[in-house]
Structure 1
Amino acid sequence: MEVAGSPGAAEPGEIRALKQCLLRRNHSREQYGVAACCLEELRNKACDILAIDKSLAPVTLVLAEDGTIVDDDDYFLCLPANTKFVALAGNEKWAYNNSDGGTAWIAQESTDRDETDSGAGLKWKNIARQLKEDLSSIILLSEEDLQMLIDVPCSELAEELRQSRVAVQGLQNTLQQVLDQREEARQSRQLLQLYLQALEKEGSVLSKQQESGDGFSDERDAVDSGIRESASEIALSRRVLMALKEKPAPELSLSNQDLELVAKADPEALAVALNWDIKKTETIQQACDRELGLRLEQVQSLHSLRSLSARRNPLPGEAQNPKRAKRDLT
């Protein structure tokens, strides 16, 4: 059976299932069957059915079996159908009634005892009964509830569940395994989070290093000038630069490749590297360019002479053009 829009329970349009319950007053054997979708609705119906004066508020609902205070909707929804409730008005205290089935806890020895502490101390019995009805509800138990059942003495839990101590010991071992698995899962999630954070941090560091490397990959120290130079200018470092600065005619001591690099170098960058002015730098570049041109001309001339000599002096063994013999007319 379902109801929509129960007072004090569900939001407008929300549908909740009704739970059948049994209500009675304290020290009374007369019980009333009611159905409610939430704890507040059950409390309101208790006031109406049991004729409780609302001036005696607050009205407290407790389990008739052991006096556990029920003040949470989630706990109420976990209780089985036809659970017996006792409505306490004002400062009334729950008292044992043998009509509750003979399994109730003994009545409080002192009326000043804190009911909240009593309910918390017997909470494990409600959880145990829940497991007895449906063992699969283990997955719904919180870690606190699991630990509570594990800590209960085996003999007491066996008595509550009406099982042998061996079976209950196995149940507690299973509960411990579930608790351990949850702890392992939590630690695994934490380790995974730390691993992902480390990867993210490492990626950030590598990215910065790559950016830094890209920024300085084209730079070199040209006499501590720190000027960015091209690949050809980097080739001029040290040996070539020292030759340009120290030799009276450096173009004569440099190789063809070095001459080409000097001639093609950026005048401003080369001037800074040599600590010269632009005019002096351009002069030495022009000298290197002329020297390179002279060397190329010499090479070309040498190749021409070799070709001419090869045509005039064939190698031994090469076939000679036979001369045409004169016809002997005699």
Structure 2
Amino acid sequence: MEVASGPAAPEPGEIRALKQCLLRRNKSREQHGVAASCLKELRNKACDILAIDKSLAPITLVLAEDGTIVDDDDYFLCLPANTKFVVLAGNEKWTHNSDGGTAWITQESFDRDETDSGAGLKWKNVARQLKEDLSSIILLSEEELQMLIDVPCSELAEELGQSHVAVQGLQNTLQQVLDQREEARQSRQLLELYLRALEKEGGILSKQQESRADLGDERDAVDTGIRESSSEVTPASQILLALKEKPAPELSLSSQDLELVAKEDPKALAVALNWDIKKTEAVQQACNQELSLRLQQPRSMLDLSSLTSDQT
């Protein structure tokens, strides 16, 4: 389907897609191929190619197939390529050449076609396009799909030259395509809402984590102040972690930490470690022994140093 940005005639310098068309005069079989981007351009080219005096207004373009007046750019742009037109000048009336015969259409018919040249005939054009290529269903807009669904089955069957059963199946298929597009649209909308919610929730979680981190820093600062000011200092969380995870925690703790563990109340330490009292006392005893050994080392070094100086 040809697509244009709007029904108005192209502005100067504006590039439009050209539609291939076939032109002939009334009661003539000679056709001329032209390309135009709008009806105004097509009328001008028709007058030049077919040697029509422009003073014989109005210049009317009708479909060679059924005499439908084409006076709307939207309708023109919807027509398939190589559509056949008959050019009428002045008060000429369209005639349909079939096996050399002539069938005249009265002015009343022209008036009726002109009145029906809107939505009433657009569905016929869409139906013709569908008849030429069934795969063009995927190119139809939702408005065009709904248009063909709303057409009475008998009229659409006549236009397509198909049985009522076949056309009913076609309309059911068109309804399914329309429903799938609606479901896809709703799914996209739900996905967009979900992504927005995730983005919003991510921002909330990030703020919560920052608040918890700030609160943790404040608690650590408070705990440090309590340890420094209290006579009974509680071991820090890293000391408790070392006591729980290290097979011989007394070897990995500093002398200051060992002193804190040794001085801690066994019951309070057992609660903090979630241990029984015997295991807690054993660990405290090991820490006390390790602390004693570390305190004896400097003394031994001093004694050895004194002994050496006396001998010299």
Measured against the shorter chain, the TM-score band is 0.5 to 0.7
Of residues 87, 95, 98, the one that matches 1:97 is 95
Q: C-alpha separation between the residues in 2 aligned to 1:218 and 1:15?
A: 67
Aligned residues: 228
Contact 2:68 2:113 in 1 (8 A): no
Gaps of 5+ in 2: 1-8, 237-262, 264-287, 294-312
2-structure distance, mates of 1:59, 1:67: 14
Letter matched to residue 184 of structure 1: E
1:22-171 to structure 2, matched below 5 A, reads 22-24=23-25, 28-38=26-36, 39=38, 41-55=41-55, 59-64=59-64, 65-69=66-70, 71-72=72-73, 75-76=76-77, 78-81=79-82, 83-87=84-88, 97-99=95-97, 109=108, 115=114, 117-171=116-170
SS, match of residue 44 in structure 1: helix
Q: Is the 8 A contact 1:68 1:119 kept in 2?
A: no
Comparing both chains, which one has the higher relative contact order based on Cα–Cα distances under 8 Å and sequence gaps of 6 or more?
Answer: 2
In the TM superposition, what is the alpha-carbon distance from 1:190 to its structure 2 partner? 0.8
C-alpha distance after superposition, 1:246-294 (max 9, x if no partner)? xxxxxxxx43x36x99xxxxxxxxxxxxxxxxxxxxxxxxxxxxxx9xx
How far has the Cα of 1:112 moved from its partner? 6.1
Aligned 8 A contact 2:21 2:82 in 1: yes
Q: Which residue of 2 aligns with 1:232?
A: 224
Distance of aligned partners of 1:138 and 1:202 in 2 relative to their CA distance in 1, 3 Å threshold: same
Q: Which runs of 5+ in 1 are unaligned?
A: 1-7, 221-227, 241-253, 262-291, 293-298, 305-330
What's the Cα RMSD here? 4.3
Residues 112 and 230 from structure 1, CA distance in 2 versus in 1: closer, same or farther, beyond 3 angstroms?
same
- How far is 1:110 from its partner? 7.3
Alignment CA distance shift 1:44-1:218 (3 Å)? same
Q: Alignment partner of 1:229: what SS?
A: helix
Give yes or no for contact 2:52–2:89 (8 Å, CA) kept in 1.
no
- Give CA-to-partner distance per residue, 1:86-124, whole Å, 9 cap, x none: 3466xx6x855343799x997563776683643431111
Runs of 4+, deviation exceeding 4 Å: 14-18, 55-60, 73-78, 104-108, 110-114, 234-237
Question: What residue in structure 2 maps to residue 184 of structure 1?
Answer: 183
Offset at residue 73 of structure 1 (A): 7.6
CA distance in 2, matches of 1:161, 1:79: 16
1:211 to 1:58, Cα distance in 2 relative to 1, 3 A = farther
Cα distance change on mapping 1:111 and 1:161 into 2, 3 Å: closer
Give the percent of matched residue pairs that are identical in Structure 1 and Structure 2: 60
In the superposition, relative to structure 1, how do residues 131 and 105 fare at CA in structure 2: closer, same or farther (>3 Å)? Answer: farther
Instruction: Work out whether residues 158 and 165 of structure 1, in 8 Å CA contact, stay in contact via their aligned partners in 2.
Output: yes
Q: Summarize the Cα distance change of 1:209–1:156 in structure 2 as closer, same or farther, 3 Å threshold.
A: same
The alpha-carbon deviation at position 20 of structure 1 amounts to 4.7
Rounded to whole Å, the distance in 2 between the matches of 1:169 and 1:213 is 65
- Specify whether residues 70 and 146 from structure 1 end up closer, same or farther in structure 2 by C-alpha distance, changes over 3 A only: farther
CA, structure 1 residues 213+151, in 2 after alignment: closer, same or farther (shift >3 Å)? same
Q: Which amino acid aligns with 1:67?
A: T
Residues 136-187 of structure 1 show CA distances to partners (whole Å, capped at 9, x for unaligned) of 1111111111111111111111111111100111111111111111111111
What is the match of residue 202 of structure 2? 203
Counterpart of 1:152, as a letter, is: V
